[in-house]
Amino acid sequence: MRFSPEDVEILAGILEEAPDYLSNIEEQILALEKGQEKELLDSIFRSFHSLKGIAGFVNLVPIVEVCHRAEDLIKELKSGKRTKSPALIDALLEAADFVNRVLHRLREAMAGYSGGVLEVDFEDLGERDVLAKIEQIPPEEQKTEEAEEPLPVIDRAFAEETLHDFLAELEDNLVQAEETLLALEHSPESETVSTLMRAFHSMKGGARLVLSLAPQETQERLLRAIEEIAHRLEDYFQEIREGKATITAEVCEEAYRGIDLVRELSRLLKTGASGAPWEAVNAFLRPQREQRSEEVRTQTESGTGALEAFGNIMEQFLELLDDKLCSPSLAGEELQRLAEVVQRGLVRLGRENDVPLVEEVLKKSQEGDTEALKNLREQLARLFEDIQAAKDSACREEAAQQTSPARTPLQQGTAHTVRVDSEKLERMLNLVGELLALKNATRSFVKQMERDSSPLLPEAKNIASGLERLSADFQSMVFSLRMVPIGELFSRYRRTVRDLAKSLGKKVTLLIEGGETELDRTVIEKLSDPLTHLVRNAVDHGIEPPEEREHLGKPPEGTIILRAYYRGAYTFVEVEDDGRGVDVQAVRVKAVDRGLVSSDEVLRLSDEEVLSFLFLPGFSTARVVSDVSGRGVGMDVVKTNIESMGGQVGIESVPQRGTRVWMRIPLSLLVVRGLMVRIAHERYILPLEFVRETVKVPPERVREYFNGRFVEVRGEILPLVVAEEVLFDTRVDLRGKGFDFNLVPLVVLGGEGETCAVAVDAFLEEGEYLMKAVPEYMRGNGVVSGVTIMGDGSIVVILNPPQLVQW
């Protein structure tokens, strides 16, 4: 075969992509020998299908043909036309081997390619043998019942994909519907009603679309239910929009019920679990069921394409003609436009002879000759009946023949947003890590060159700065992919607040501020639990019942604010309420009760310090344990989750005015600018945000005083921590350590008003490091905040200075 230079480019792509499909195929075929699961068949089918697809781009006939036949085999196996046999498994394996051989041959040819036309010979690779082997698989006893081949153009893989898309879209629609509904309860505006209608409308349309792909029976039932519920809800709001009905609490309740049902059904579709709430679904739909079932049935009936397409157009033409007969003043353009299409349809169906009839209709309609028009309409109707009759017989023929039109390789639609597998994002992040390691290595390499006054220095600097720029861009791009606006998370609590407030007989509005603030995906995930606890607390304990509020001169409706904003290198996320506030004295009493502080001490603590007790496990001042909150679990979860991200939490409260809980999260958890040091032959990283300066001092300047050590740095006496002692729990004699030039390398750490010197063995390099979280048990009481993986694959620990020096 000959390939043009453009083809060769595509071939390179094929060589890159094909191994993905081939890697598992052999194992899967072998697994098929043992058991025949549907997923296995689907997966093998998809692999062959994809291979065929990509090979089709350059008309790589041997692969296309063999894969096509293999695909057919799987399809027949799935439909039950064939049963599994050793010969069939052999044939599939051969097919996969053959594809491998072709790719191998291609790879060889490409290796020696130097431009121009590429000639590759596949003749001797045994294509004929493979195809013959497939042909020769002994036929099974013919199954008498007709194999089901739902829609000729669609394969299962695509149907699955569509279902997947549908579920993702459904989730979006549900969230939107819920949000809109909440907004609607507060201010019924027609625009809001329309948005709501559109959300239900999309759900319905999506369900119908998936239904048209002949899903499996269990899926079909679920989809049908979703479709009907969405339809019902759409109707509700349509009536409201048209002014036939008004928004009442019952309607909203009903809508929430529908949304919850759809969500549950969608979950079952996604997981394949059983136990659908059919009773609830039926109860929801009962009033409309009877009338609707008829409609749905007629819709899903299949028919033949061209005739049915024409029938649809013709029907519209006749309808419009009727309208025209009733009111002759209607504009002629509509009729004209439809007539054009009708004529083309007639031509397409080989009924050119009838085209003049349509011409005639247009002419008479222009002349306003109603009588002639009536006559023509009758003729057209008869013609239509004729065509319909032909269609019915064609339908029967088609059912008998079971033809399947040729396929073309699946091409991806140009989507405007792409859903990316989070695993891929994770892998990209690892690449960023490697890039950073490379950048750090380059930097120290350039420094070395500088010291050696290498003649290549200017060039090396150029390359290094290019690499630096590129990795910075790439890094911020990858991180931005991982950023999600927090508003999506915030708005989830609208429903929580509403339901909770209702069950407690309170009135609460949730306000969202800074919803556009973007945070890393993983941070958003970790914020979800803490926010749930805080929001529940606020509704349950914070906001007072309406009567009490009025009595206090507050508006009866309480307000909870979810707020996010950036400040410095941090993102702040806050939950604020205008409720009764926390009783600081009660917390003081409880803290003493629990033996956390003595009664003397507790009086010396500031309110803020006292309030921080609330974050301790099992600490709750709620007098009654309700089913909502107050069991004393929750606040500690908030603290743990936030601190695991290197963040901090705090609480402020003013009696009768409200409570504000703030969470401070580092902007970038991912990249740490740090100083790498050596401590006892190991490398460690100290985050630069804590490093004030580095100095080297003679050991004499270190003084011991009681059990502590101090060092004088530029006339300032600082407490000294020897890192090796903390990390390895030993005692180190600084004089006997043998430092370079007998000077002790010190890192002066500063933060939160405290300063401390840390003695290390040597300073190594400064750089950026991608931080990976480590499991709790590896954190060494918080001394370790994470690890980074170096370019050579070694792992270096990133220290957490505040814990190291025990501030």
Q: Does 332 bind other proteins (CB under 8 A)?
A: no
Q: Does 625 bind other proteins (CB under 8 A)?
A: no
C-alpha atoms less than 13 angstroms from C-alpha of 495 in its C-beta half-sphere: 18
C-alpha atoms less than 13 angstroms from C-alpha of 450 in its C-beta half-sphere: 8
- State which residue, 307 or 675, has the beta carbon closest to other proteins: 307
Q: Does 151 bind other proteins (CB under 8 A)?
A: yes
389 CB-near residues (< 8 Å, 6+ apart): none
Residue type, 314: M
Beta bridge partners of 649: 663
Q: Does 348 bind other proteins (CB under 8 A)?
A: yes
**Sheet with 682-687: strands ordered across:** 762-770, 671-679, 682-687, 795-799, 784-789
Q: Is 530 helix (H, G, I), strand (E, B) or coil?
A: helix
CB of 210 to other proteins, least distance (A): 8
Q: Does 209 bind other proteins (CB under 8 A)?
A: yes
- Using the contact rule CB under 8 A, the part of the chain among 38-46, 133-141, 340-348, 652-660 near other proteins is 340-348
CB of 198 to other proteins, least distance (A): 6
What are the structure tokens assigned to 258, written together? 């529908």
What are the structure tokens assigned to 232, written together? 């019902």
Q: Does 152 bind other proteins (CB under 8 A)?
A: yes
Q: Which of 180, 192, 202, 621 binds other proteins (CB under 8 A)?
A: 202
- Using the contact rule CB under 8 A, the part of the chain among 218-226, 332-340, 504-512, 519-527 near other proteins is 332-340
CB of 243 to other proteins, least distance (A): 15
Task: Let me know: does 66 contact 98? Beta carbons within 8 Å.
Answer: yes
CB of 231 to other proteins, least distance (A): 8
CB of 422 to other proteins, least distance (A): 19
Q: What is the DSSP string of 116-149?
A: S-EE---GGG-HHHHHHHHHTSPPPPPPSSPPP-
Q: Does 160 bind other proteins (CB under 8 A)?
A: no
Q: Is 462 helix (H, G, I), strand (E, B) or coil?
A: helix
Distances (CA, A) of 305 to 355, 382, 391, 485, 631: 20, 21, 10, 45, 64
- Element containing residue 651 per DSSP (H, E): strand 648-654
Q: Does 306 bind other proteins (CB under 8 A)?
A: yes
Interaction residues for other proteins, span 699-728 (CB under 8 A): none
Distances (CA, A) of 248 to 112, 178, 185, 238, 497: 76, 16, 9, 14, 20
Q: Which of 117, 147, 283, 347 binds other proteins (CB under 8 A)?
A: 347
- Using the contact rule CB under 8 A, the part of the chain among 139-147, 343-351, 422-430, 470-478 near other proteins is 343-351
Task: Let me know: does 441 contact 791? Beta carbons within 8 Å.
Answer: yes
Q: What is the DSSP string of 169-225?
A: HHHHHHHHHHHHHHHHHH---HHHHHHHHHHHHHHHHHHHHHHTT---HHHHHHHHH
Q: Is 496 helix (H, G, I), strand (E, B) or coil?
A: helix
Binding mask 276-305 for other proteins (x = CB under 8 A): -------------------x---x--xxxx
Interaction residues for other proteins, span 219-238 (CB under 8 A): 231, 234-235
Q: Does 414 bind other proteins (CB under 8 A)?
A: yes
What are the structure tokens assigned to 588, written together? 């003081």
Q: Does 313 bind other proteins (CB under 8 A)?
A: yes
- Using the contact rule CB under 8 A, the part of the chain among 196-204, 450-458, 525-533, 797-805 near other proteins is 196-204
Q: Does 793 bind other proteins (CB under 8 A)?
A: no
How many residues lie near other proteins (CB under 8 A)? 57
Q: What is the DSSP string of 717-739?
A: EEEEEEHHHHHH-----GGGG--
Q: Which of 89, 252, 410, 773 binds other proteins (CB under 8 A)?
A: 410
- Using the contact rule CB under 8 A, the part of the chain among 334-342, 420-428, 602-610, 710-718 near other proteins is 334-342
Interaction residues for other proteins, span 642-661 (CB under 8 A): none
Q: Is 292 exposed, middle or buried (0-12, 13-18, 19+ CB in 10 A)?
A: middle
Q: Does 312 bind other proteins (CB under 8 A)?
A: yes
Q: Does 154 bind other proteins (CB under 8 A)?
A: yes
CB of 436 to other proteins, least distance (A): 35
Q: Which of 38, 143, 344, 382 binds other proteins (CB under 8 A)?
A: 344
CB of 233 to other proteins, least distance (A): 13
Q: Which of 21, 45, 166, 493 binds other proteins (CB under 8 A)?
A: 166
- Using the contact rule CB under 8 A, the part of the chain among 162-170, 254-262, 662-670, 761-769 near other proteins is 162-170
- Using the contact rule CB under 8 A, the part of the chain among 34-42, 136-144, 328-336, 590-598 near other proteins is 328-336
CB of 398 to other proteins, least distance (A): 10
Give the count of beta carbons closer than 10 Å to the beta carbon of residue 397: 11
- Element containing residue 324 per DSSP (H, E): helix 305-326
Looking at residue 246, the DSSP 8-state letter turns out to be -
Residue type, 308: E
**Where does this chain bind other proteins (CB under 8 A)?**
151-154, 158, 162, 165-166, 169, 198, 201-202, 204-206, 208-209, 211-212, 231, 234-235, 295, 299, 302-306, 308-310, 312-313, 316-317, 320, 331, 333-334, 337-338, 340-341, 344-345, 347-348, 407-408, 410-411, 413-417
